[in-house]
Amino acid sequence: MAYNTDMKIDTHVHVHPPEIQADWEKIAVYEPHFASLCSGRVHRWGTAEDVLARMKEDSIDVSWIAGFAFRDPGLCRLCNDYVINAVDGSGGRLKGLAVVNPLSRGFEEEILRCREAGFIGVGELFPDGQVFDITDMRQTWRLAAQCHENGMFLLLHTAEPVGSKYPGKGGSGPKEASKFCSNHPEVKVVFAHMGGGLWSYETMPEMKIVLRNAWYDTAAMPFLYGSEVLNAAVAAGAGDKILYGSDFPILDARRYEELFNAAALSKGQKRSIMGANALDLLERANSSL
Ligand SMILES: [Zn+2]
């Protein structure tokens, strides 16, 4: 169903529990992906309070927040606990995403625990950072099944297969993402950072079918693309599958506002990207129950 809403939803927001921030150097020793992101040039810390304050400034109605997807299931759990508390105290302004290591023992129970606390999705998971291969069904079937069974969508980090390297980029791009889609057509997946360009293959009739369960978020777009990418994705037929996501705290709504204005999107297109598509995704993820 198409939503006609002016609700503004930021679908890609990171929060860091204060304990993680305080101990980051110790954690970084055994979590190399976390270490590389934290020492990156654009890194910033953010708490749930920071998110709520920023939302007020930027007139964002709802944010979908997630902790950091560590390899260590204990650290994932700590992040999820923090998100549970933040969501509970937010009066509906924050929705939670669960972080798990999909190769760890017992991660299914952790997803279930988060679902029972009202979480709507799982992610942002880092295939390279957490060392799992999204093209290998032997490594993904438990994760896919758990998302599907619980009516949750999955948010996976992906990046461009071209261009310069940057901390956290990783090697999972459009090719790997499309393989995941064909392996798991039942799971609703958001590929972060415009799926590393995956949306452009929506112009292939064959791929349009494979990508039926794929969405793309705009996280980090001001660092990666010019505003034309939004027009191009809309022209490729992916306008109903683009979700506004800021990648807060490294970026916030002001940078996106400039980009969206430069793209000269219609009111309807902007409304879809800023919130309606996100509501549509949630409904579809839920109806797969
Ligand atoms: Zn990401």
Q: Residue 2: pLDDT above 70?
A: no
The pLDDT score that the predictor gives to residue 8 is: 97
User: Would you state the pLDDT for residue 288?
Assistant: 61
Residue 234 carries which side chain, given as an amino acid letter?
V
| Residue 238 belongs to a domain | yes
Does residue 91 form part of some domain?
yes
For residue 258, being part of any structural domain is answered with yes
Distance from residue 170's CA to the centre of ligand 1 (Å): 9
Helices 107-116 & 73-88 angle (0-180, nearest 10) = 0
Distance 265 CA to ligand 1 centre (A): 25
Number of domains observed in the structure of the chain: 1
**pLDDT score for 4:** 67
Q: What is the pLDDT of residues 130-155, one digit of tens each?
A: 999 999 999 999 999 999 999 999 99
Ligand 1 centroid from CA 217, angstroms: 10
Do the Cβ atoms of 115 and 152 come closer than 8 Å?
yes
Residue range of the domain that includes 274? 10-287
Q: Ligand 1 centroid vs 30 CA: distance in angstroms?
A: 20
Residue 150 lies inside a defined structural domain of this protein: yes
Ligand 1 geometric centre to CA of 14 (Å): 10
| Mean local confidence (pLDDT), 84-107 | 97
Tell which residue, 66, 72, 64, has the closest CA to residue 33. 72
> Which pLDDT belongs to residue 90?
97
Helices (H) and strands (E) in the chain, counts: 14, 8
Report if residue 4 sits inside a domain: no
Q: For residues 39-64, give the mean pLDDT.
A: 94
On whether residue 236 sits in a domain, the answer given is yes
Q: What is the whole-number distance in angstroms between the Cα of residue 282 and the centre of ligand 1? A: 20
Token pair recorded at residue 190: 């958001």
Q: pTM value?
A: 0.97
Distance 192 CA to ligand 1 centre (A): 6
220 CA → ligand 1 middle, Å: 8
CATH of the domain at 42: 3.20.20.140
Task: Calculate mean pLDDT across residues 77-93.
Answer: 97
CA of 250 to the centre of ligand 1 (A): 11
Which ranges constitute the DSSP H helices of the chain? 18-22, 24-30, 32-38, 48-58, 73-88, 107-116, 137-149, 174-183, 205-210, 221-224, 228-233, 253-263, 267-271, 277-287
Determine, yes or no, domain membership for 209. yes
**Predicted local distance difference test score (pLDDT) of residue 130:** 97
Let me know if residue 61 belongs to a domain. yes
Give yes or no for a contact between 98 and 117, defined as CB atoms under 8 angstroms apart: no
Q: Summarize pLDDT for 157-195 with one digit per residue, the tens.
A: 999 999 999 888 998 999 999 999 999 999 999 999 999
Burial of 142 (0-12, 13-18, 19+ CB in 10 A): middle
**Dist. CA 83 → ligand 1 center (Å):** 18
